A = this chain, B = another copy of it.
Amino acid sequence: MRAAMFYGKEDVRIEEIKEPQVRPGTVKIAPAFNGICGSDLHLYHVGPMPPAPTADAPHPLSGETLPVVLGHEFSGVVEELGDGVEGLAVGESVVVEPLMVDGTCPACKAGKYNLCEKMGFIGISGRGGGLSEHIVVERRWVHRVGDLPLDQAAMIEPLAVALHSVKHAGVKAGQTAVIGGGGPIGLLVAAVLKAKGLETIVSEVSKARREKALSSGVADAVVDPAHEELRAVVYERTGGAGADVAFDAAGVPVVVAQLIDVLGAGGRLEIVAIHTKPVELNVTTQLTMKDGVLGSSIGYANDHEEAIELVRSGQVNLAPFITRRILVDDIVPEGIERLMTHKDEEVKILVSMR
């Protein structure tokens, strides 16, 4: 079968590989659509780093070295069920929660498997990926999506990231949220917040992204923090109270400071972005003096079913975020490269095998 194989930095090859066979307790799936994620771009441009294996060092759970099949945001159709698999039928639409976990570490035992010590990702760490004609996955990671269109279903994975972050932040209906950064995760966080009944203000320097935040309906208001006083806008919209919660979907220290500044009494900043540089925090003035909270979470754990339900029920509409569809053969120029050169126009590019 054909698959997109990640060999290392700037080295993705479409190749013929051996088709995986179903085993007891597993499900064979034909991937339909696969989204390209920021971590795919990072792997491609920077090269493999954990949870990806290298050519020499296998991932501790998969035992695999490079190359690995790419693709961890994907939907598909059930092709075959292994012995003992229940609650699924051949032909059903599904998504895969693309994880591999140890199961015995303290985090796993506490049900927080997103914090597994050995955490790996299908599509990054081995065990196949969504960018192939077939994949075999353990039953526990397969979620039925019913009549949800398979293209939107490919975005359930990043939606689960956004949902996990929103749940971690403990928001309430009627609150006002400021989202810093209108990229894919910022937009999905805003979508979940709207579904939960919050007022959303997206702060984003890119005009194209601000327009998408408005046209997709996930932002009640947008602000260009380079040319407008974000704090003044937020304080005016909240009658002087400030925001209840803010989400950092940018990953830049200055945005963290901006977002803390818009929080009112008892406010919380939730960081959903990855930060590569340290953030300098003046704890007393930035947090203490407002009974403030700073939280951050990674990935998802037991969030996929609720993410699927948010979309199936119509509370979240993922269609506006699918900005391009390409074939796997074009994944580098039309997918990975385009997301770097046109990052403000593109939200999610979906890749299909044929």
Q: Which residues of A contact B (CB under 8 A)?
A: 106-107, 110, 112, 114-115, 168, 239-242, 256, 264-266, 271, 274-276, 278-284, 287-298
Please classify the interface of chain A as helix (H, G, I), strand (E, B), loop, or mixed, using the class held by over half of its residues.
mixed
Contacts of A288 in B (CB 8 A): 271, 274-275, 296-298
Contact A294 B295 (CB under 8 A): yes
Contact B280 A278 (CB under 8 A): yes
Shortest Cβ distance from residue A264 to the other chain B in the assembled complex, whole angstroms: 6
What are 25 sample pairs from A and B whose C-beta atoms fall under 8 A apart?
Answer: A106-B240, A106-B241, A106-B242, A106-B265, A107-B264, A115-B265, A115-B291, A168-B291, A256-B283, A274-B288, A275-B282, A275-B284, A276-B284, A278-B280, A279-B281, A279-B282, A279-B283, A280-B280, A281-B281, A287-B295, A287-B296, A288-B296, A288-B298, A291-B297, A293-B296
Q: Given that A294-B293, A298-B291 are known contacts, is A107 also in contact with B283, CB under 8 Å in the complex?
A: no
Alpha-carbon separation in the docked complex, A308 to B168 (Å): 33
Contact A289 B283 (CB under 8 A): no
Contacts of A168 in B (CB 8 A): 291
Contacts of A265 in B (CB 8 A): 106-107, 110, 112, 115
Copies of this chain:
2
Contacts of A292 in B (CB 8 A): 295-296
Q: Give the residue among A240, A265, A294 with the most B Cβ atoms within 10 A.
A: A265
Alpha-carbon separation in the docked complex, A30 to B297 (Å): 52
Alpha-carbon separation in the docked complex, A239 to B276 (Å): 31
Our pick among B112, B287, B290 for the contact of A291 (Cβ within 8 Å) is: B112
Alpha-carbon separation in the docked complex, A353 to B271 (Å): 51
Our pick among B107, B241, B242, B280 for the contact of A279 (Cβ within 8 Å) is: B280
Contacts of A256 in B (CB 8 A): 283
Known: A106-B265, A110-B264, A289-B298. 6 other contacts (CB 8 A): A107-B264, A115-B291, A256-B283, A274-B288, A280-B280, A288-B296
Contacts of A271 in B (CB 8 A): 283, 287-288
Contact B294 A294 (CB under 8 A): yes
Contact A115 B290 (CB under 8 A): yes
Residue of B nearest to A112 (CB): B265
Residue of B nearest to A287 (CB): B296
Closest 6 CB pairs of A and B: A107-B265, A287-B296, A288-B296, A106-B241, A275-B283, A115-B265
Shortest Cβ distance from residue A87 to the other chain B in the assembled complex, whole angstroms: 28
Residue of B nearest to A292 (CB): B296
Shortest Cβ distance from residue A136 to the other chain B in the assembled complex, whole angstroms: 29
